[in-house]
Copies of this chain bind each other. A is one copy, B any other.
């Protein structure tokens, strides 16, 4: 590939930009597992240059203990260092990460990044730059931490037409949902605890509103279907509206509620959506608890395969960063002229698969309808659903809570647009005394777990 990478050297020479959790974890892992890595790769990986915004005492000590000879605060010094063959971008954010990655690629260096936001939102600009410069832009660590899901989708399942994938891809949200379910606690309460434990940020919006999950889903959806990265078209709904009552009612019906990212190819186009989802308790995916991640992928030949493990943490994420480094090293050692794998798994991305608006998806639904406790209420509600062509799979009427009684309905498959109309009509009924909570239900037909 690039001239720089064909320099002969005993070791693979990398530079690291950003020494936060993942960057520092990468340094430590390269040190701890250096013997094993050398046995696998056939050469050592040497960090020759590192940059960090704050070169404090602790980081100086880390750099020294890992034998990094050159360090500073300027990522562009790393990127422009002719010694560096591969740049690891673990700064996060867009600025200066975008320019750093762009410059590295333009300089003919391979890049390994853990930055899901950058790729999901600006990958459509960066991947062509990598291709034009004949270098690898690798990103296993950007989705589901240590789980090698990018490799599975792009390589392991390459013989399949991917029908759909569904994942628990944000550990913070899954921790909160797990705690809410296990202890009947409410969202705000568990969020506070998650923040104290360091599982959630001071500003938790990215995690609890589904933005982080949407970034990851965007990347997986692109590889699954060979479409451009489409973050802005991904429907995103968080978990802050889920109540302990919803979890309990769902449980009565045999379901748990998980925050899922779902990508599905249909005859009309691609669904890309992140939202709370009812899932039969018997599914493996329903049993992934705490900060764990798991992705279920359905291919037309293989059927359903599941990938599960830690989705975050310094060492787990560094495991994926270093796997990418080893992969690039192996490709360079093989003397290949071009990257072996197209970054997103397809030689040419498709332009014939539009992303559907959420209004155009079809789903089964859970509805929690706060109604007055009067004879004839159920008849009124079911009639409106019938008028909107929505058929009912199950109804339960719960015990009255103060002056109203929650009616829980599971519907069969219906178009979201249709359901929205039905909900408006239901909320206009005099017997309905508040807004209706709607949660999508995923039966995962054809799943094999």
Contact = CB atoms under 8 A, between A and B. Distances in A.
Contact of A303 (B306, B315, B323, B345): B315
A319 B331 contact: no
A390 B36 CA distance: 36
Interface residues on A, range: 35 or more
Interface string A34-71: 00110111100000000000000000000000000000
A310 B318 contact: no
Interface stretch (A124-132, A245-253, A284-292, A411-419): A284-292
A309 interface: yes
* Oligomer: number of copies: 2
Nearest to A1: B334
A347 B39 contact: yes
Interface stretch (A13-21, A147-155, A371-379): A147-155
A305 interface: yes
A346 interface: yes
A32 B301 CA distance: 9
B158 A323 contact: yes
Given A323-B155, A334-B339, A336-B334, A300 B39 contact: no
Interface in A302-355: 302-310, 313, 315-316, 318-323, 325-327, 330-331, 333-342, 345-348, 350
B159 A319 contact: yes
A82 interface: no
Interface of A is mostly: mixed
B308 A284 contact: yes
Contact of A319 (B299, B313, B330, B341): B299
Given A148-B152, A326-B158, A226 B302 contact: no
| Residue among A305, A308, A350 with most chain B CB within 10 A | A305
Interface in A237-291: 284, 287-288
A160 interface: yes
Contacts of A39: 226, 346-348, 350
22 contacts: A32-B301, A33-B301, A40-B158, A40-B342, A140-B156, A145-B302, A146-B302, A146-B305, A148-B151, A148-B152, A152-B156, A158-B322, A284-B308, A301-B318, A302-B315, A302-B316, A302-B320, A303-B315, A308-B449, A330-B341, A334-B337, A340-B340
